[in-house]
Structure 1
Amino acid sequence: MGAVVERDGSLVRTHYGTHGTVGHTGPAGDDLAELIRRQQDLFAARHKPIEWKVYAHDSPLLGESLRAAGFVPGPERSLLVADIADVPSPEVLRPGMRVRHPLSGERERLLRRAVTTPEQRRPLSEMEADGTGSEMEILVLEHDGRILDTLWIERVGATDFAAIGGITGPRRELLQAAAAWAEWRDLRVFRPRTPRYGVPVRNVS
């Protein structure tokens, strides 16, 4: 929602309000230099930076070709995937503690704190700017009215996955709440299925 998705052979371009990404569903093809140049030209015409997703199972030639075209490698990440059914049920919270949605007046404070959070898959400000709407959720853990930590999660395209964009502290309560959102959130307005998997992401630098 709020993004334009285009297919180009095995490539998928996604144009957000702030940037664009390129992913692929199969081999990128033989003429990598021409393919990469075409994507750069398309995004340059829209005056947007481009991010190209590269995975460990991709041919090393793809990474080499991207670097030769001027791409700069970002931090490496590993995926931690859990079936929602395997996430433990919510624990009984301590007295005075609860998980809730943020209030409108708390938004700026949460954004400032999220900026300093290490090992993010996707910044909270970017997720909000791209307008994922009801396909995303922000959860806060508070104790006696004081916010302890925050987590943000979103549906990953038309897949069965929900990805945790970031979490400001190691809080099992927030992970359990995120799994519950991914399992029970009614997304039928957009797609008939609810996500079966949660995907936290961390850096491995």
Structure 2
Amino acid sequence: MTSTANRSATSGAQTSVAAELLAAHDAQVRATVAARMPLTWTSHPDGRVLRVTTTHRAFVFSDGLAGASDEEVEGYVRRARDFFAERNEAVEWKYYSNDHPRLRGLLEEAGFAPEDEESVVVGRVRDVLDAGRVPEGITIRPVSDRPDLDRIAAMESEVWSQDWSWLADDLADRVAGSPDDIAVLVAEADGAVVAAAWLVVMPGTRFGGLWGGSTLARWRGRGIYRALIAERARIAQAKGLEFLQVDASEDSRPILERLGMFKVATTTPYVWTPQAS
């Protein structure tokens, strides 16, 4: 077989794996949001669309709306916007690249504005168990007490140059509501939090979400991110999970792909705000 044929065969196999992982993600992750929400989230169903209010930002999730007519999709979008307009509340519609072909345009027509696109990256737990070793001088440990969660929120606030104090409440609610379904890890150097990440188990599925993964700028490039992936993969394996999923930035996506995970789609937050209207 020629090198060109080899590359073609490899590409075809990768495409097949990515399609299989996307199908598993859509069937398990996207289809089970209502059954695995934190205690502080409240659902407001509308057929194939789920509107959710939280203590931080409201969300809209859908099943992708495949097969729906343009008029049906427009109705879902309009009703979601009007629902949150009556509440004078901003809302994020979580849009995926494999959703109904008219959905993106209808969201924009309704006043939803796109934020930064992320890659939906999925892989098997077994493939990232050895993603990276803990760097010298770094300690990784699980945490659940409120002081540690506040320290994580402070670190995230520094990373993103925004007030992320709400994150401590969100993590505390998840730990209190379903402690077996979340594992929060901090990476410390000389007792200071330099990175944090958490594994969120999705009940009723074989998936775990790799959330967080932020590192202070001066500590990047040392392998902390990969070490946190490996540690969460080992926790996921102990819990009997098969897949891991990440909504990855362009900083993280290449690392994850090198570790054997696959970009299966993109996701874009479409945000409507009362001020924008």
TM-score interval for Structure 1 and Structure 2 normalised by the shorter chain: 0.7 to 0.9
Residue of structure 1 equivalent to 2:82: 41
Residue of structure 1 equivalent to 2:234: 180
Sequence identity (%): 23
| Segment of structure 1 superposing worse, 102-111 or 125-134 | 125-134
Structure of higher RCO (CA pairs closer than 8 Å, 6+ residues apart): 2
1:80 aligns with one of 121, 127, 132 = 121
| Segment of structure 1 superposing worse, 133-142 or 76-85 | 133-142
1:110 aligns with one of 149, 152, 165 = 152
Residue of structure 1 equivalent to 2:28: none
Number of aligned positions between the proteins: 193
1:29 deviates by 3.7
Determine if contact 1:124/1:152 at 8 Å carries over to the other structure.
Answer: no
1:75 deviates by 0.7
| Segment of structure 1 superposing worse, 85-94 or 145-154 | 85-94
CA root-mean-square deviation: 3.0
- Say if 2:174 is the partner of 1:132: yes
Letter in 2 for 1:18: H
TM-score calculated relative to the size of structure 1? 0.76
2:188 aligns with one of 137, 142, 161 = 142
Residue of structure 1 equivalent to 2:55: 17
Aligned partners of 2:58, 2:204: CA distance in 1, in Å?
Answer: 18
Q: 1:150 to 1:33 in 2, by over 3 A?
A: same
Q: 1:64 to 1:96 in 2, by over 3 A?
A: closer
Determine if contact 2:151/2:193 at 8 Å carries over to the other structure.
Answer: no
Determine if contact 2:154/2:165 at 8 Å carries over to the other structure.
Answer: no
- Say if 2:42 is the partner of 1:4: yes
Determine if contact 1:160/1:195 at 8 Å carries over to the other structure.
Answer: yes
Residue of structure 2 equivalent to 1:199: 245
Aligned partners of 2:246, 2:74: CA distance in 1, in Å?
Answer: 33
Contiguous gaps of at least 5 residues in structure 2: 1-37, 216-222, 252-277
Pick the structure with more helix per residue: 2
Deviation per CA, 1:95-142: give whole Å up to 9, x if none. 764321235433333212113446xxxx78448437323232220123
Aligned partners of 1:161, 1:43: CA distance in 2, in Å?
Answer: 30
Aligned partners of 1:44, 1:17: CA distance in 2, in Å?
Answer: 17
Residue of structure 2 equivalent to 1:161: 207
1:161 deviates by 2.0
Q: 1:17 to 1:151 in 2, by over 3 A?
A: same
Aligned partners of 2:133, 2:92: CA distance in 1, in Å?
Answer: 41
Contiguous gaps of at least 5 residues in structure 1: 186-193
Q: 1:69 to 1:94 in 2, by over 3 A?
A: closer
Letter in 1 for 2:149: R
Larger radius of gyration: 2
Aligned partners of 2:190, 2:88: CA distance in 1, in Å?
Answer: 46
Q: Secondary structure at the match of 2:195?
A: strand
Q: Secondary structure at the match of 1:48?
A: coil
Determine if contact 2:141/2:186 at 8 Å carries over to the other structure.
Answer: yes
